[in-house]
Structure 1
């Protein structure tokens, strides 16, 4: 009789543990669902981390290297971030280039990659650590073993917008490491050079009027080069924020294999 009672007690304990495990699994599933529907402040995949700062400005952390893209907003915008090993600057406009911010965040050993038009506007002490990279060129940087940086054209196509970004002045960028390719569009429309890109794993594509392009043009361009993951960014125009939900809908209606990921590029709006 004692043995029967013992085994009955063990059975009840196991049943209770399994019920608790199922409840916890259900709760975790609910949390995962909620998280996936929220606007992330950062995104981390393997050893590649993205922190949006604002609009066109971001910090990429990739295999121990920290890259600031178009740093503006003063040193306070980067509070808590590692100092940059490299700074990428795409264009001369104030939402991409702020020499005071670059001076404030740069550290010993930090390099800069920029087109000539940007380099010409930097103070001498920053020019001395700047590698000029113009459209179509690529380079390897000291201390960035295995990384390649390529300058991609960025410019306007619409007649009324040609005054904003002339071809050859600014850079989009492709960063490649161990076969992983990351594309940063800079200020552009859906130009042939973007549409013809290949094997892009992560893409950041702009969409704001009147300076770059509509969400429709951005979606059409993305569907042409089919990145694995696309992050809409740089989507504040003169009439407010572009409809990035519509962008996601257009992209996924065209290709469900492209993952559209929305990060919080405008924390000041909250």
Structure 2
């Protein structure tokens, strides 16, 4: 039977995923970095308050997703980092001593969980991830765009139980309003393809500050726009919008094809 999963949102794209007795942290970010990087919401936990971690997943090297220095400073320098290859220098600079970077569609075993690297696309190189254990599959996209390669996830991995998707559709104004993160409609279309039991949206409260929000970036900070789109395009999926510090528990439907 699929194992239950618990998701706790800390802030932004930083979440705790408890899968069986394994606990994973995604895209750590514990310190604002003005003027550009501001969470726009309170953080539920400081790095020193985290529970014991099985591994840390890092999708890419931007400061709001790759705060490995805070983890190292909290005494977690030996925690395994599973990340896009471009994160290696940041991990080394922070003093993290265990680093894994599987190629896209390759997997590594950490604890009792299989972690599969999945394609992503952003303003810098990005990897997304699926965590799999006993028929439960959890997909985490840091702040990727919706790209065609993601449509292959159910066929290559199996039925997705929980998806953690960005929704703010971040655009860079000086780059002709170039979109670098999936927006609410994109995330809803991906939800329809993945057909998960539950989706937790993230990456929406982020702000660049009053001036930069007007001159540099444009974004959708309301996750309810995603809920409305997902209700229309993927009505089977339960959308759960979590405030920082809130935990949701999911007991996945037994729809598995293969168990890792």
Contact 1:205 1:218 in 2 (8 A): yes
Paired residue for 1:204, among 159, 164, 185? 164
Query: Shift in Å at residue 223 of structure 1?
Result: 1.4
1:88 counterpart SS class: strand
2:91 counterpart SS class: coil
Alignment of 1:108-187 (within 5 A): 110-123=79-92, 126=95, 128-141=97-110, 144-145=111-112, 147-156=113-122, 164-165=123-124, 169-187=125-143
Q: Residues of 2 paired with 1:185 and 1:69: CA distance? A: 9
Matched, 1:193 2:149: yes
Structure 2 residue aligned with 1:264: 243
Higher-Rg member (1/2): 1
1:243 counterpart SS class: coil
Contact 1:182 1:201 in 2 (8 A): yes
Structure ranking higher on relative contact order (CA contacts 8 Å, 6+ apart): 2
Q: CA RMSD in A?
A: 2.6
TM-score (norm 1): 0.69
- Number of residue pairs aligned between Structure 1 and Structure 2: 210
Query: Shift in Å at residue 242 of structure 1?
Result: 2.9
Query: Shift in Å at residue 239 of structure 1?
Result: 4.2
2:130 counterpart SS class: strand
TM-score (norm 2): 0.72
Q: Residues of 2 paired with 1:100 and 1:204: CA distance? A: 24
Structure 1 residue aligned with 2:186: 217
Structure 2 residue aligned with 1:59: 16
Contact 1:83 1:106 in 2 (8 A): no
Q: Residues of 1 paired with 2:83 and 2:115: CA distance? A: 11
Q: Residues of 1 paired with 2:104 and 2:95: CA distance? A: 21
Q: Residues of 2 paired with 1:155 and 1:216: CA distance? A: 17
Q: Which has the higher helix share?
A: 1
Q: Check 1:149–1:100 CA distance in 2 against 1; reply closer, same or farther (3 A cut).
A: same
Q: Which consecutive residues of structure 1, in runs of 5 or more, have no partner in the other structure? A: 1-44, 157-163
Structure 1 residue aligned with 2:227: 248
Structure 2 residue aligned with 1:4: none
Contact 2:184 2:225 in 1 (8 A): yes
Q: Residues of 1 paired with 2:232 and 2:71: CA distance? A: 40
Q: Residues of 1 paired with 2:240 and 2:86: CA distance? A: 32
Q: Residues of 1 paired with 2:96 and 2:79: CA distance? A: 12
Query: Shift in Å at residue 266 of structure 1?
Result: 9.6
Query: Shift in Å at residue 149 of structure 1?
Result: 0.4
